[in-house]
Amino acid sequence: MSDVPETSVNDLADDAVLLDVREQDEWDAGHAPGAVHVPMGEVPSRLGELPETDEPLPVVCRSGGRSGRAVQWLQRQGFDVVNVDGGMRAWAGAGKPLRAEAGNEPTVI
């Protein structure tokens, strides 16, 4: 997906504002502390919930495929967005912080 702008997890702050487009169970298992959760299928109906940032908004999923498609769609709607290369797997692999719902040990599923 060479036409999709990407950013590396190493270029993002640990508390970066991200749009996480994974499903609810993936989000509950572990997510970035500054992420906003809008499952990919709900993005078109929840555009008003997307965080406003001065920089392009990073979009993340588990490995980068779904978020890449979301980035393409959001760009066509006029949003300034970038795909997080490697997704949450890369985020966790880089030792970035994770939060889980219900006090469970955070993980990327």
Give me the residue spans of the domains in the chain: 6-95
Active site residues: 61
Place of tokens 């990327």: 108
Residue type, 24: Q
**Tell me, what's the pLDDT at 1?**
45
- Check if the beta carbon of residue 82 is closer than 8 Å to that of residue 57: yes
Q: Which CATH number applies to 6-95?
A: 3.40.250.10
* Full pLDDT tens readout for the chain, 109 residues: 458 999 999 999 999 999 999 999 999 999 999 999 999 999 999 999 999 889 999 999 999 999 999 999 999 999 999 999 999 999 999 999 999 987 789 999 9
Main-chain phi, psi angles of 36, to 5 degrees? -110, 130
pTM: 0.95
Tokens of 85: 């290369």
